[in-house]
Structure 1
Amino acid sequence: MNKTWKPVPATGASLLLSVMLACALPALFPGDVRAQRGREGPPEQGSVEPVNLLPNPYVTIRDFGTLPDGRSWGSVSAVNVDIDGIHIWAGDRCGTNSCATSDVDPIVKLDPDGNVVQSFGAGEIIWPHGMDVDAEGNVWIADARIANAGELRANPDAAGKGSSVIKFSPEGEVLMVLGTPGETGDPPTHFTDPNDVLVAPDGSI
């Protein structure tokens, strides 16, 4: 004979028993067993202190770098170390958050004391966002966007720039441009808002 099993609705007594068991089990087994297993880790790492408890060997130096003519730093998202391991390259958005209407150099090279020893890029970059320095000391800049309508009204010369990757010599000469400046689209002929650039040891970009 076939039997059909039907779920029995929980009565007040059975519901109360379930709640009591749920409350009593943690008292019978203090601590979460699964969490304890996770905390213990492999035996060979038992004496290793968490990394965040180690002393920080670095010191934050605020207000580093003095720009020419007393101008203030704008948004900076492109920083890299020169091949000499001493100087610092930085991409400043011309004292604000865009270079579309500016005639100052957005790319600066700083000595260890924060003095600008080289600068370039005026009128060539809209929005420096990423940077790399290759093995030959060339400076690669990801110019992340094109000028917007308001910027173009203020400076029509900003047309035809941005949304590209530019390779500069250490002296600021444009050696290569990837993408089509001033236009967005798909590779290999265009980029849309390129955020960064990296040159591998074998020269791959």
Structure 2
Amino acid sequence: MEIVINRNLIFAENRYLETDRLKLRPITLNDANDMYEYGSDEETVTYVFPIHQSIKDTKESIANYFMSAPLGKYGIELKETGKLIGAIDLRVVEQHNIAEIGYSLNKAFWGQGFVAEAASELLRLGFNELQLMRIFAIHDIDNPQSGRVMEKIGMKIEGNIPNARMCKGKIVTDIMRGITLEEWQQLHN
């Protein structure tokens, strides 16, 4: 008999997560100013999403993406200041027992290990609680910094996908990285 895992319930029970320096929590309209700060910066959003032209764009993004279906989506908040510095999500593909992780971070906070810290907590949730067998992430070949974050959390290159998609009028080659449950367990034993 197959064991059925109610992943929505697990996400609902884990809407608030903490690491040493961060709180991972739901994003609300109260976060609009902090998100607009990085969402309106071309360098920050180059590989992630269309630039926010106004605070209205940011509020619409929060309402349409983060609030309409909040499970598995987290704001990255600095414990020290309460400032929202980015977002991270874990998108489960139920029928395959896998998930994709994605993230964005205010460039003022790049290079300090915040995304790796948040992503490590989502890997723990994904493998320990959600009982996933593999978690993967994709980055533009022209964005090696994102690939370094994935390396830090134990993800290995699984493939190079030429002409994977169009992004902002540009043909993108994607690098896929992933980590299996067994690989994650080896790193954490």
Name the TM-score, length of structure 1 as normaliser.
0.25
Greater relative contact order (Cα < 8 A, sep 6+): 2
Rg larger for: 1
- In terms of fraction of residues, the more helix-rich structure is 2
Name the TM-score, length of structure 2 as normaliser.
0.27
- In terms of fraction of residues, the more strand-rich structure is 2
